[in-house]
A and B are shown apart, each in its own frame.
Chain A
Amino acid sequence: MTMSPTEAIEAPRIGHDVLASARAEWFKVLAWRVGITVVGLALWETASGRLIKPFWISAPSAIWAQLYAWVESGDLWMHMRITLTETVAGFVLGAVSGIAFGLALGLNKRLAAVLDPFIIAFYSLPKIALAPLFILWFGVGLASKIVLATFVVFFLVFYNTYAGTLAVEQELVDVLRLMGATRWQIVRKVILPSVLLWIFTGMKISVPYALIGAVVGEMMASNKGLGYLIQASAGQYDTSGVFAALFVLMIIATGLHEILKQSERVMLRWKEDST
């Protein structure tokens, strides 16, 4: 059967229209976002010095100037690198050990039963409260912050991974058992793929906590890093400095989150709805 000319022309255009309207929608959303940002910054700038003293809220222009000065002097990059190193190292160590431990416990019911009370005890502990201890043990350098971030991330990732192994659908496991799968095949083909979703959730929620671990450690004792920068600026009543450092932290957290989101999209392609 040959296609009638109208069909031949119509078919692609429908797809095109859908795409075009989706893009139009996206532009509208973007316009609103830009609008809110511009209005917010303008209000802030206007209020500063007129309604509220700059001492309390600084002003976007002052914050910008401060950032620019830090970039010029090279300070920003130095502090940022320190904080990033601590965060990423803590995140990677915490995530890897959390996944390994979560899987080990999920696949070994006896071990899980034995360790359960200890895990609950450690889990309910506010991890940040360990910062002084870690500083005592590992000094004021990078190590203490990395350990703190690792610890915080470990528990979040561990807990999610473990919960994921408990949530594996028994029916899916049974299907493979009936097909004669070995224990290891079941782990590889059912348990790991279904836990992956939980692992990603755990990793995504722990990104900001890795940063918290690093920054809190820096604020308590150090002479480098964005946490130190906040602490030092506040100590000199330099509100612009505090805001500038916070702004950089915000950028870092968003960037890390975005990286994880993209890798999740690649790994969990099967979850994506068709377009």
Chain B
Amino acid sequence: MTPVPLIEYRDIARRFTTRRGTVTACEHVDLTVNEGEFLAIVGPSGCGKSTLLNMAAGLLQPSAGGVFYRGEKVPEPNTRVGYMTQRDTLLPWRSVEDNVAIALELRGQDRPTRLRTAHEWLHRVGLKGFENAYPAQLSGGMRRRVSMARTLAYEPETILMDEPFGALDAQLRLVMHDELLKLWAATRTTMVFVTHDLTEAITLADRVAVFSARPGRIRAIETVDLPRPRDVFRIRFDPRFGELHDRLWGYLEESVREGVMV
């Protein structure tokens, strides 16, 4: 099966001009995300990972080059993608269930049906019993999980996730990895997953892209040829995992070091 390109970054750059001068978040990025693939992006803080996702969502335009979705310029906004942003964007005046159900509500689904879906998702992310709580009453990690449920519940064609599990403890993170992979195996939704954590990237993804420090460029892209279904609790002890981890860590280390030197 030949891969079908879904999101394409063609030699893009993005600069931000503020009063203190111009920052180049990323430049000369050429990257293709194929349909049905799980791509992870790792790189040091500030190298433009979130910026890349914002461009795929059509919330931000590149300063140079072009971003394409299914061969066409990304629309503003790109309603084909579900985007779980790095920052919390739950609506504080809505209960947890109504937050999760919002996309279905926008589509005009009736309340009992959409709440049933919302409850199913809340159950999956381990938040049964918090349906009627308000976001302010939840912990940071719980809010992240509600955000994830909200993004997955309406089954967008492509999902962008920006450090979704950063606020979770190591054990819960593994549980979420397991859930996410099960889900992904069932739907094969295209995923672009940004993280700081190399282990997380290898555990989940088909390919891992390592970025250099700012201005972010792609340093290496490696295919993760670990068989699926993967046992998220044990896969890190697989010798092939270790080999890949060492190699990717080499790239990432260079990126991090040059980031510190700048």
Query: CB within 8 Å of B: which residues of A?
Result: 169, 171-172, 174-181, 185, 189-190, 193-194, 196, 268, 270-271, 273-274
Contacts and interface: CB of A to CB of B under 8 A. Distances in A.
Give the 3 A-B residue pairs with the shortest CB-CB distance, closest first: A179-B103, A180-B79, A270-B93
Contacts, number: 58
B204 to A, nearest CB: 22
A196 B95 CA distance: 17
A194 B93 CA distance: 8
Contacts of A190: 91
Interface residues of B, number: 25
Nearest to B94: A270
B102 A189 contact: yes
Given A175-B85, A270-B134, A180 B91 contact: no
B83 to A, nearest CB: 5
Contact of A175 (B83, B105, B134): B83
26 contacts: A169-B89, A171-B85, A172-B89, A174-B59, A174-B89, A175-B83, A175-B89, A176-B106, A177-B79, A178-B77, A178-B78, A178-B79, A178-B82, A179-B102, A180-B107, A185-B106, A189-B91, A189-B102, A268-B93, A270-B92, A270-B93, A270-B94, A270-B136, A271-B92, A271-B93, A271-B136
A268 B107 CA distance: 26
Q: Is the interface of A mostly helix, strand, loop or mixed?
A: helix
Given A178-B77, A274-B137, 12 more contacts: A171-B85, A172-B91, A175-B89, A177-B79, A178-B59, A179-B102, A180-B79, A180-B107, A193-B91, A194-B93, A270-B136, A271-B136
Given A171-B89, A172-B89, A189-B91, A178 B106 contact: no
B81 interface: yes
B235 to A, nearest CB: 32
Contacts of A179: 79, 82, 102-103, 106, 154
Nearest to B58: A178
A193 B103 CA distance: 17
Contact of A171 (B77, B87, B102, B154): B87
B57 interface: yes
A176 B92 contact: no
Contacts of A189: 91, 102, 105-106
Interface of B: 57, 59, 77-79, 81-83, 85, 87, 89, 91-95, 102-103, 105-107, 134, 136-137, 154
Nearest to A177: B77
Contacts of B137: 274
B83 A180 contact: no
A165 to B, nearest CB: 16
Contacts of B103: 179-180
Contacts of A185: 106
Nearest to A267: B93
A170 to B, nearest CB: 9
Nearest to B82: A178
- Of A177, A179, A185, A271, the most chain B CB neighbours within 10 A belong to A179
Contact of B81 (A172, A178, A194): A178
Contacts of B106: 176, 179-181, 185, 189
B90 to A, nearest CB: 9
A189 B136 CA distance: 18
A181 B103 CA distance: 8
A196 B91 CA distance: 13
Contacts of A169: 89
A178 B102 contact: no
